[in-house]
Copies of this chain bind each other. A is one copy, B any other.
Amino acid sequence: MLEYRDFEEKTIKRTEIFKGKIIDVYLDDVALPMGGTAKRELVLHNGGVGIIPITKENKLVMVKQFRKPLEKVVLEIPAGKIDPGEGKEPIKTAVRELEEETGYHAETLTYVNEMYLSPGFSNEKLYIYAAADLEKVEHPLPQDEDEVLELYELTLAEAKQAILDGLICDAKTIFAVQYWELMQAKQGEDHT
């Protein structure tokens, strides 16, 4: 079994390429554990949250929006970037983003897990929460100014069809639908 030092790539030099609003880009020269060097392209990101909100009617609340990198309109679970100051408590981001994007407040917000989305080049991490006991907020937080969002509430069968149709096509949302299906399968087992 290999030790950490057999894997580690130490940075010799880091070159700043770009500092943006959402991402920072760096190019590292690293020393390889077996000798020699290599370049590593790095996209640093402050992380975000994704929320799996299930209504009392057992529907998944989703947002439709345009994604510039994909040049298309897609259906996703509510999600958003962690603001500076929320870093230690991503659940606060989850509460805020759920209300901003959907107008819902969740009485129950449960941590599901956390996942790096693209570990080959990025440190972007997403914290996933399941939201239940949803109540419409009377005067919800306003949506981001530069975002057009449309709300949908889908049954599990509709969400699975939307994956087949390509309207649901991103990792966190496909994970969320699968998570929901697994929870229902497990509940089914309990009842037998």
Contact = CB atoms under 8 A, between A and B. Distances in A.
Interface string A110-135: 00011111111111101000000000
Given A118-B122, A118-B124, A44 B17 contact: no
Nearest to A76: B119
A115 B17 contact: no
A170 B116 contact: yes
Contacts of A67: 116, 119-120
A119 B148 CA distance: 15
Contacts of A117: 117-118, 170-171
A20 B41 contact: yes
A73 B28 CA distance: 18
A43 B43 contact: yes
Contact of A171 (B18, B39, B175): B175
A52 to B, nearest CB: 13
Contact of A119 (B32, B74, B114): B74
A178 B182 contact: yes
20 contacts: A8-B73, A21-B39, A21-B41, A25-B43, A30-B68, A43-B43, A67-B116, A69-B120, A69-B122, A70-B116, A113-B163, A114-B169, A117-B118, A117-B170, A117-B171, A118-B122, A174-B175, A181-B182, A185-B186, A192-B192
In the A-B complex, list the 5 residue pairs whose CB atoms are closest, starting with the nearest.
A7-B66, A69-B123, A185-B185, A40-B68, A115-B171
